[in-house]
């Protein structure tokens, strides 16, 4: 189980020796990211060129979802892989409190234990291209041609939620993760 701090009583800002709803307090300044950023890097050398786009957020905190509407009735039905390392008599050194049931959040409310940094940096896209020599497609009436390979969302470079199986850009832990796409192509100009 988690331990909660006695912060105040019902009529005072002094601890009263009991853990009640009066002990609730703000545990995150920003649940929406105060910093959104992105940057592009690219370059070319002879016939090769590389273009990249990075995107991320910083400064927000996310409460991991443990409440009943998001947890199935049994651990083997849960999409939350971290519950596999929760306390049990056979796993007394588990990283997480003992898995209870669908009323977990009702009986054990929010805690700073479940807060994680929502900051991340993702490589959103990368394109590697090669300009074919001018005379190669002359018989087709083409002025130029380019071979390229593009990847979209290929890698999450920095992520504090990965051990939870949670994509920081997803709306919740059960959301379908962002799609990765890989494209090969030829661009011909006339």
**pLDDT, position 165:** 65
**Spatial separation of the C-alpha atoms in residues 11 and 6, rounded to whole Å:** 14
Residue 105 pLDDT > 60: no
Give 3-state DSSP helix, strand, coil % of the chain, rounded to 5: 15, 35, 45
Residue 144 has what pLDDT? 80
What is the per-residue pLDDT for 125? 97
124, pLDDT greater than 90: yes
Q: What pLDDT score does 101 carry?
A: 55
Q: What is the pLDDT of residue 54?
A: 97
Q: pLDDT tens digits, residue range 132-178?
A: 887 776 666 677 889 999 999 999 888 877 666 677 887 666 667 78
Q: Which tokens is 116 given?
A: 């994680």
Whether the pLDDT of residue 48 is over 80: the answer is yes
pTM of the model: 0.73
The pLDDT value recorded for residue 174 is 62
Give the C-alpha separation, 107 to 88, whole Å. Answer: 18
Q: Return d(Cα 57, Cα 36) in angstroms, integer.
A: 4
């Amino acid at each position: 189980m988690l331990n909660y701090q006695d912060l105040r009583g019902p009529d005072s800002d002094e601890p009263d020796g009991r853990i009640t709803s009066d002990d609730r307090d703000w545990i995150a300044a920003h649940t929406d990211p105060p910093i959104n950023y992105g940057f592009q890097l690219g370059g070319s050398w002879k016939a090769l060129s590389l273009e990249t786009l990075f995107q991320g957020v910083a400064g927000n905190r996310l409460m991991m979802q443990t409440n009943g509407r998001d947890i199935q009735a049994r651990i083997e039905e849960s999409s939350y892989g971290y519950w596999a390392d929760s306390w049990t008599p056979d796993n007394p050194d588990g990283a997480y409190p003992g898995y209870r049931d669908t009323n977990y959040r009702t009986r054990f409310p929010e805690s700073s234990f479940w807060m994680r940094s929502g900051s991340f940096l993702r490589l959103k896209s990368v394109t590697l291209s090669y300009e074919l020599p001018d005379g190669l497609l002359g018989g087709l009436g083409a002025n130029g041609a380019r071979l390229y390979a593009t990847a979209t969302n290929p890698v999450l470079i920095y992520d504090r939620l990965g051990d939870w199986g949670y994509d920081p850009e997803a709306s919740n832990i059960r959301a379908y993760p962002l799609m990765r796409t890989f494209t090969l192509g030829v661009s011909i100009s006339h």
